[in-house]
C-alpha cells in the first residue's frame, strides 16, 4: 500500500521539475558624448534709443526772446537754440567794466608813486587787489551773459519743445530736447554664461519690426561691467551701423546674438535629472549605471552644455528612467553600434 501511495503522488506531477522565472533586462537608450564645435545663438528684444540725447536747459533766469525750433527740425552744431532777455545782465556788465577801468587807472597811478617811494606798499597792494576783483566781476558777468544764448552742442534733431517765446524761464528750466538720429543703440540683457563669450566689436544682427524682417548690421559697442546678483544677467549695448532709413528711437527691435564657435559637450536636455541636484545616468563598461552630478551651461534648442561631470566618450542614458537606480545592470537598445551583453539572471533585482 505504501508503494502504491508513493507511486500515485509521483504520477500527479507528471515528472516535471519547477523552473526559475527569468528576469527581464532593464532596457535603456544612450547617447555617446563627443565634443562638437557649436556657437550659442540667442534672440533678445529691446527698444532703440539715441546714443546722444540732451535736455536743453537754462542756466540763467529770464524772459525767453527766441525759440526758433520745433520737433523734427534738424539743427547744426553751434546754431542758436534759445535766447533769453539779456538787458539787465548787459547793464551790469557795462558797470563792471567801468569799475575795472577805474581800478586799473588807480593802480597805474599808485605804481608811479611807489617808484618814487611816495606811497606805502600796503596801499599799492590794496589797489592791486581791487583791480583783480573788478576783473573777476567782469568775467563772471560775461559768463552769465553767455548763458542767455544757448547753442546746439552737436548736429541733431529737436525731439521736444516745452516752452514758447515770452515765457519767463527759471534757472534750469527744460526748454528743448536734442537727439542725434545718426547713432542709434539698444540695450539687451543676456545670461552671464553667454556674456562671458562675447566681446566688444562682435557682429550682431538687428531686426526692426517696423521695417520688416530683414536683419540690419550692428555690433556690440559696450559691455557693462556688472552682473545682476539676483538674475545673473548682464547688459550689452548694441549699436546700429549704419542706421537704416526709417529707423527711429523708440522702435521695437530683436537682437540676434551669436558667440564664437568652440568645442562643447552637449547632451539632450531630457537626459537631465533634477532630484536633489542636477545629475545624469551614465552606463559604465560593465553594463551598470552610475549616477553623476553635473554642472550645466548654455542651453541650445533641445540640448544643453555640460561644463563639469562628464568626459568625451561617456554614454549618457536618454530613455528608460523608470525604475532605474545607481548600480543597476542595463541593456542598451536602439543603437546598432552598441553591443551590450544581457545582464545575468537576477542581477540588479
Are 99 and 240 found together in one domain? no
Buried b (16+ CB within 10 A) or exposed e, 13-22: eeeeeeeeee
pLDDT of residue 151: 97
Q: Is residue 91 part of a domain?
A: yes
Q: Is residue 197 part of a domain?
A: yes
pLDDT for res 258: 87
180 touches 48 (CB < 8 A): no
Instruction: Single out the residue of 237, 236, 140 nearest to residue 184, CA to CA.
Output: 237
User: Are 72 and 154 part of one and the same domain?
Assistant: yes
The predicted structure's pLDDT at residue 140: 96
Residue 158 and residue 101 in one domain: no
- Given a contact cutoff of 8 angstroms between Cβ atoms, the answer to whether 174 and 56 are in contact is yes
Amino acid 346: pLDDT: 39
Specify if 321 maps to a domain.
Answer: yes
What's residue 197's pLDDT? 86
Residue 73 lies in a domain: yes
The helix or strand, by DSSP H or E, that contains position 213, with its residue range, turns out to be none
In a domain, 348, yes or no: no
pLDDT value of residue 299? 84
Is residue 254 located within the same domain as residue 189? yes
Both 244 and 202 in one domain: the answer is yes
Q: Is the peptide bond before 113 cis (omega within 30 degrees of 0)?
A: no
- CA–CA dist 3, 15 (Å, integer): 17
Blockwise average pLDDT, block size 10, the chain, 349 residues: 45 50 80 89 93 95 96 96 96 95 91 83 89 95 96 96 96 96 94 89 94 94 94 95 93 91 90 90 92 89 90 92 91 61 40
User: Do 66 and 171 share a structural domain?
Assistant: yes
Q: Which of 264, 272, 312, 315 is nearest to 294 (CA)?
A: 272
CATH at 71: 2.40.50.100
Residue 341 lies in a domain: no
Burial of 151 (C-beta count, 10 Å sphere; 0-12/13-18/19+): middle
Is 199 in the same domain as 279?
no
Three cell numbers written together for 254:
530683436
For cell 517696423, the residue is: 210
pLDDT at 121: 85
Do 98 and 139 share a domain, yes or no?
yes
State the CATH number of the domain containing residue 245. 2.40.30.170
Q: For the domain that residue 271 is a member of, what is the CATH number?
A: 2.40.420.20
**Total count of domains within the chain:** 4
130 Cβ contact partners less than 8 Å away, ≥ 6 residues apart: 103, 106, 107
Tell me which of 231, 258, 285 is where a domain ends.
258
Quick check: helix, strand or coil at residue 153?
A: coil
Same domain membership, residue 239 and residue 227: yes
Same domain, yes or no: 200 and 248: yes
Q: Are 52 and 177 in contact (CB under 8 A)?
A: no
Sign of the CA dihedral with 317 first, then 323, 327, and 328 last: negative
> What is the grid cell recorded at 297?
551651461
Q: Is residue 2 part of a domain?
A: no
Query: Locate cell 516745452: which residue?
Result: 162
Q: Is 172 helix (H, G, I), strand (E, B) or coil?
A: coil
- The span from the CA of 84 to the CA of 109, in Å, is 40
Flag whether 343 is in a domain.
no
- Cβ atoms of 218 and 19 within 8 Å: the answer is no
**Same domain, yes or no: 207 and 273:** no
pLDDT value at residue 342: 45
Full-model pTM: 0.66
Q: Which range of residues forms the domain containing residue 153? A: 61-84+149-175
Pair (278, 315) in one structural domain: yes
Amino acid at each position: 500500500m505504501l508503494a502504491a501511495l508513493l507511486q500515485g503522488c509521483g504520477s500527479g506531477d507528471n515528472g516535471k521539475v519547477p523552473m526559475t522565472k527569468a528576469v527581464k533586462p532593464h532596457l535603456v537608450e544612450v547617447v555617446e558624448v563627443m565634443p562638437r564645435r557649436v556657437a550659442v545663438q540667442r534672440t533678445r528684444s529691446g527698444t532703440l534709443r539715441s546714443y546722444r540725447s540732451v535736455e536743453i536747459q537754462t542756466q540763467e533766469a529770464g524772459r525767453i526772446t527766441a525759440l526758433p525750433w520745433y520737433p523734427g527740425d534738424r539743427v547744426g552744431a553751434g546754431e542758436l537754440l534759445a535766447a533769453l532777455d539779456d538787458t539787465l545782465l548787459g547793464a551790469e556788465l557795462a558797470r563792471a567794466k567801468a569799475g575795472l577801468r577805474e581800478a586799473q587807472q588807480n593802480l597805474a597811478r599808485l605804481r608811479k608813486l611807489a617808484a618814487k617811494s611816495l606811497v606805502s606798499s600796503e596801499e599799492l597792494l590794496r589797489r592791486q587787489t581791487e583791480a583783480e576783483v573788478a576783473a573777476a566781476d567782469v568775467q563772471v558777468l560775461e559768463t552769465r551773459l553767455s548763458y542767455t544764448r544757448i547753442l546746439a552742442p552737436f548736429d541733431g534733431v529737436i525731439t521736444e519743445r516745452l516752452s514758447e517765446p515770452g515765457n519767463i524761464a527759471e534757472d534750469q528750466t527744460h526748454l528743448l530736447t536734442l537727439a542725434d538720429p545718426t547713432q542709434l543703440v539698444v540695450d539687451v540683457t543676456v545670461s552671464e554664461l553667454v556674456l562671458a563669450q562675447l566681446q566688444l566689436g562682435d557682429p550682431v544682427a538687428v531686426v526692426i519690426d517696423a521695417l520688416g524682417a530683414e536683419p540690419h548690421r550692428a555690433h556690440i559697442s559696450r559691455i557693462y561691467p556688472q552682473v545682476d546678483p539676483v538674475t545673473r544677467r548682464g547688459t550689452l549695448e548694441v549699436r546700429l551701423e549704419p542706421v537704416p532709413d526709417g529707423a527711429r528711437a523708440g522702435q521695437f527691435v530683436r537682437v540676434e546674438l551669436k558667440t564664437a564657435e568652440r568645442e562643447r559637450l552637449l547632451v539632450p536636455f531630457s537626459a537631465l535629472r533634477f532630484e536633489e541636484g542636477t545629475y545624469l545616468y551614465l552606463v559604465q563598461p560593465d553594463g551598470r549605471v552610475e549616477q553623476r552630478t553635473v554642472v550645466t551651461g548654455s542651453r541650445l534648442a533641445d540640448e544643453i552644455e555640460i561644463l563639469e561631470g562628464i568626459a568625451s566618450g561617456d554614454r549618457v542614458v536618454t530613455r528608460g528612467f523608470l525604475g532605474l537606480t545607481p548600480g543597476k545592470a542595463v541593456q542598451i537598445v536602439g543603437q546598432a553600434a552598441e553591443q551590450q551583453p544581457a545582464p545575468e539572471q537576477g542581477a540588479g533585482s
